[in-house]
Every structure is written in structure tokens, then in C-alpha cells.
Amino acid sequence: MDRAEVSRLLSATARSYQRLDSETSALLGTEVLGQVPDLTAVPVIARQAPQMTHEHTAAITAALIAAEAGPEVELAAITEPFARDCAHWDVSVGAILRTYQRGHQRLWQLWKVRIEESVADPEARASVLALCAEVLLEYVTAGMELTVAVHAAEREIHLRGASWQQRDDVLDVLEGRAAGNQAELSRRLGHRLDRTHVAFVCWSDPAAAGRERAGLEAAAQDWA
């Protein structure tokens, strides 16, 4: 069957069920989150989990609707900060991945039933099911890959120690090698950061005490 027609049928089916996203999210929260106690044992993460479930449910429905546009999927905005917060609160990356895997399995079951009820022609139904499975797998794979990378980076910050990470970040900024945007670097360092805002590295260094503002960059270079 023509892929464009299959994509159109999948998009139409997803649109018809989009109104149920809140109910679907609540169902996943009950059935999936309860199976991953490592995730919900930490109060801060437990409070974020329903929002995480809601955003992923909506993003997956949007990905199915957008199937006509192409195979690329757009992850929920919460994916990266949720992974970072889990790392900060010592929730293992395995707990997050298990949550995503089980959520993926449950969503596949739900969408399989929905498609079977919505597409009457057997050949078309089989093709739509195959495309749905492809989109869901693409989404969960992309989400897990990003989660692993972000979680590992955040854990490295904690394991290496904040001062060494700050040293690296300051050097990167001063030498024009900073990766990522200024807001992200500022978040990691806990201070506004650009080439003229490096005073924080001197605050705890007695050798730098009394330096004039004009000498702060040089002091930062000395410290680094």
C-alpha cells in the first residue's frame, strides 16, 4: 500500500484519539510508574513523574499525527531536564529506561487496539500498524539515547566535583571553546557567565583577594 496513504490513515487515527491524551497519561501513570519503585521513591522525582508521563504521551500522539511529514520525531521538552534531575537525585538511568520501555509497550498495546478499531481494510490496517510501531520505536529510541547521554554527563559533574567542572567550563569560555549555550553553562556554574563575568572563580581564592575588576579575567586564567 502507498506509504503516503498509510501515513494519512495513521495521522487521521491519531487525531481522532488525541482528545484522550489526558486519560492515556493517567493510565500510564497508574500502570507503569507503579512498576518502577526506584523512580517514585524519591519525592522530587515522584512529583515530576506525572508531568513527564503527560508530556511524553502528548509528544507521541503528535509524532503519530505528523507521520505524513516524515520519520523524524520531536521529543517531549521534559526529556532532558528529567534525566538531569534523576542523575542529581541519584535515580539510576536504568530506572528511567525501564519506565520508558514499559511505557512504550503499554502505548503500543493501546494504539494497536485503536488502529484495529479505526481501520477496516485488513491490508491498510496491517500497514498502519507497521508504521505506528516504527514511529513509537523511533520515539522511544531517541528518548533513551538522549536520556543516557544527559544522565551520564550530569553524573560526571557530580563524580568529578563541581570545582573541576567549573575549571573546565571557565577555560572553555575564556578560550572561546565553550560548547552549548550561555544559559546552560550559567546553570551548571550557578552564576551568570560570559567573558566578563568570571569573578566567581576568585571568590574563594585568597591569592586573588583585592583584585580590581579589570583584573578578574587574568585572575580567572591564573586560577584555571
Predicted local confidence at residue 188, as pLDDT: 59
Threshold 0.95, pTM exceeds:
no
Q: What is the DSSP string of 90-112?
A: T--HHHHHHHHHHHHHHHHHHHH
Tell me the C-alpha distance between 18 and 10, whole Å. 12
pLDDT tens-place string over residues 23-33: 999 999 999 99
Residues 177-196, buried b or exposed e (16+ Cβ, 10 A)? ebeeeeeebeebbeeebeee
Predicted local confidence at residue 203, as pLDDT: 43
Average pLDDT rounded to a whole number, residues 142-160: 89
| Cell numbers placing 143 | 528518548
> Which sequence spans correspond to the domains of the chain?
3-160, 162-223
Superfamily designation of domain 3-160: Globins (1.10.490.10)
Residue type, 111: W
pLDDT tens-place string over residues 156-207: 877 666 566 666 666 666 666 655 566 666 665 555 555 555 544 444 444 5
Average pLDDT rounded to a whole number, residues 139-155: 95
pLDDT tens-place string over residues 105-138: 999 999 999 999 999 999 999 999 999 999 999 9
pLDDT tens-place string over residues 39-67: 889 999 999 999 999 999 999 999 999 98
Predicted local confidence at residue 51, as pLDDT: 96
Predicted local confidence at residue 155, as pLDDT: 86
Q: Element (H or E) spanning 114, and its range?
A: helix 93-118
Predicted local confidence at residue 67, as pLDDT: 87
| Cell numbers placing 130 | 507497521
